[in-house]
Amino acid sequence: MQDNLITVFIGYDSRERAATNTLIDSIYQNSSMPVSIIPLVRSQLENQKLFYRKRDINQSTDFSFTRFLVPRLMDYKGWALFMDCDMLCRADISKLWALRDIEKSLLCVKHDHSPKTKTKFLGEIQTKYPKKNWSSLMLFNCEKCRKLTVDYVNRASGLELHQFKWLESEDEIGEIDSFGWNFLVDVQELPESKEKVDQLSLVHWTLGGPWFKNGQEFSTLDKEWFLAREQAMNF
């Protein structure tokens, strides 16, 4: 296992550059271990002939499918963490990294999320399917994810990829605590006590973050994101 370096891949979309940069800084500021962070920029992957599938009508971001190239980018060796860019890290990422289980092919938060609306941020289509948001945070055991070849990632359907149908069995999917890591803002109910809120280690604006809200009312977590962005821009 990689004991001295955490490798993190972040889904990148040019419309969410502020979110990406704020997430990166929040990871660095809270980590007790060295972290290598790699944004998955679609154009770069296309230039390297790693990604060439046409945009899907249900695809809301540039990283909807590029996330599944992580094991290939790791040469199917070691472990790597993938996360959507619309998140904020509020705790030491090494605690998430410590959950690696060599018996599993990947670990994720097994959300039970059935969207109530037909659209999300910027009017993008909100698709409904089993295992919704499971793939927004994945801890890959890359050696056990060899079916995720360049060819497979570029031709497999969205459901095949996001529902992990490339695994032999669902027993290969380990579970990460749904409350502490990958808390879904405005989907999961925010705890009433400050103590419980402080225990949210990684928060996720899956419906659209404060960077899209254009003067709308901001929640406590929204205001925290703006503060994190300000801190990232100042020294």
- 81 lies in a domain? yes
Given a cut of 70, whether residue 2 has pLDDT beyond it is no
Domain membership of residue 227 (yes or no) is yes
Mean of pLDDT over the chain:
90
The pLDDT of 66-73, averaged and rounded, is 98
pLDDT for res 130 = 79
In-domain check, residue 137: yes
Residue 194's φ and ψ, nearest 5 degrees, are: -60, -35
Specify the higher pLDDT residue, 91 or 116: 91
The domain that contains 191 carries what CATH number?
3.90.550.10
Q: Among 155, 115, 116, 160, which residue's Cα sits nearest to residue 135?
A: 160
Helix or strand or coil: residue 178? coil
- 209 occurs within a structural domain: yes
pLDDT at 217: 72
The reported pLDDT for the residue numbered 43 is: 96
Beta strands in 44-165 (DSSP E): 79-83, 87-89, 106-109, 137-141
pLDDT at residue 157, as a whole number: 93
Distance CA 204, CA 216 (A): 18
**Whose CA is closest to 109, among 196, 181, 5?**
181
Q: Each residue of 185-224: pLDDT tens digit?
A: 988 888 889 999 999 999 999 988 999 876 577 788 999 9
Whether 1 is covered by a domain: the verdict is: no
Which of 181, 213, 189 has its CA nearest to residue 98?
A: 181
Residue 121 confidence (pLDDT)? 46
Q: Does the residue 26 lie in any domain?
A: yes
Q: In what order do the strands lie in the sheet with 87-89?
A: 87-89, 202-204, 181-184
Q: State yes or no: pLDDT of 64 exceeds 70.
A: yes
Which residues form the domain of 119? 6-233
How sure is the predictor about 129, in pLDDT bands with cuts at 50, 70 and 90? low
Ramachandran angles phi, psi of 181, nearest 5°: -120, 130
Span 17-40, mean pLDDT? 97
Which pLDDT score is estimated for 99?
95
DSSP state of 108: E
Q: What angle do CA 89, 92, 98 make, to 5 degrees?
A: 115
What's the pLDDT score for residue 128?
Answer: 58
Residue 227, pLDDT score: 94
- pLDDT digit string, tens, across residues 180-191: 899 999 888 888
Cα(25)–Cα(231) distance, rounded to whole angstroms?
9
CA 76/CA 42 separation, integer angstroms: 20
Domain count, the chain: 1
